[in-house]
Amino acid sequence: MEAKSHEGPALKSAFLIDAHRALYDRLTPQDRLSDDGEIIIPGQIRTRDVQVARHVAPIAASLPAFLQRLDEVYGKARGWDRILIDTACAHHRVAWVHPFLDGNGRAARLQTHCALWKLSEGLWSPSRGFARSTPAYYAALHNADAPRQGDLDGRGNLSAAGLLTWVKYFLEMCNDQVSFMSKMLALDAIKPRIEALLVVRHMKREAILPLVHIFGLGPVGRGEFSQMTGLAERSARSLMATLLADRLLVSDTPYGPLRFGLPLDALGLLFPNLYPEADLPL
């Protein structure tokens, strides 16, 4: 992956709190109930102590100090090689600190996704890899929580070897998702999937070439689109209107350039296996 400069506070605790708020803000109080019936306040740091399975999270009174330390260690701009490692470590640390009563995993994964956005440009996310290897994801997080194993296993209370195993898993998921999306977005692979989609939707095959062109090279003018179909003007405009109504084409204005659209009900054919079969537990 090409190294790039990084700007923005995605690994700051304030961003994490905003991520939690964004995940819960639009839910009704009934949909924000914890397992024990407590209403979760969006973006609110927990005010009581909790235990998750065998993990006893830091006491509530210590959370401001832990979040401040997160900012000090992981909230600085660095090259992408270090940012990837910092993002992995911060993901684990947020899960370990457990700053919210509920939704810590969601908030950590959203923060991770956003922290890598300038590198991924939204085209891939390790969260998909986590969801497709759920047992390995939780095992790696759990092992990073293990107590220090002897004098040579780091300097803190937790295992440095366990954290290293988690970071390696995290980087493998990033690489796996880059490879997956590279295959999904390859032009020689997308053409037959666009063709299959048009057949299923009973649309004219003349749309294949302009759609592949727009997918690979970006927006085109409406006249250019019509020419690429090879159809008569009226037929080309009718096909264009059909594609716009179906959201396979989108445009900002009634006469503006045409962009490739991604309606949700088309993703299964355009990008098979894009979504995991099962979501991560909340």
Q: What is the pLDDT of residues 106-146, one digit of tens each?
A: 999 999 999 999 999 989 999 999 999 999 999 999 999 88
Report which of 184, 146, 153 is spatially closest to residue 270, judged by C-alpha positions.
184
Residues 189-207: tens digit of each pLDDT: 999 999 999 999 999 999 9
Quote the pLDDT of residue 281: 43
**Tokens of residue 40, six digits:** 């979760």
The DSSP annotation for 218-260 comes to --B-HHHHHHHHTS-HHHHHHHHHHHHHTTSEE-SSTTS-BEE
Instruction: For residue 140, give the amino acid letter.
Output: A
Task: Map out the domains of the chain as residue ranges.
Answer: 13-184, 187-270
220 touches 258 (CB < 8 A): yes
**Rounded CA separation 93/79 (Å):** 21
Judged against a pLDDT cut of 90, whether residue 256 lies above it is answered with yes
**Tokens of residue 105, six digits:** 């995993």
**Rounded CA separation 60/34 (Å):** 17
Judged against a pLDDT cut of 50, whether residue 68 lies above it is answered with yes
Judged against a pLDDT cut of 70, whether residue 6 lies above it is answered with no
Judged against a pLDDT cut of 90, whether residue 53 lies above it is answered with no
Please state the rounded mean pLDDT for residues 50-74: 94
**Rounded CA separation 93/95 (Å):** 5
Q: Which CATH architecture has domain 13-184?
A: Orthogonal Bundle (1.10)
User: Count of CB atoms within 10 A of residue 94's CB?
Assistant: 26
Residues 198-249: tens digit of each pLDDT: 999 999 999 999 999 999 999 999 999 999 999 999 999 999 999 999 999 9
**Rounded CA separation 274/137 (Å):** 18
H or E element, residue 51: strand 51-52
Pick from 34-43, 216-225, 261-270 the range whose average pLDDT is largest: 216-225
Quote the pLDDT of residue 21: 96
Bridge partners for 258 per DSSP: 220
What are the backbone angles phi and psi of residue 163, rounded to the nearest 5°? -65, -40
Quote the pLDDT of residue 40: 93
**Rounded CA separation 144/1 (Å):** 26
Reported pTM: 0.82
16 touches 99 (CB < 8 A): yes
Quote the pLDDT of residue 78: 79
CATH, range 187-270: 1.10.10.10
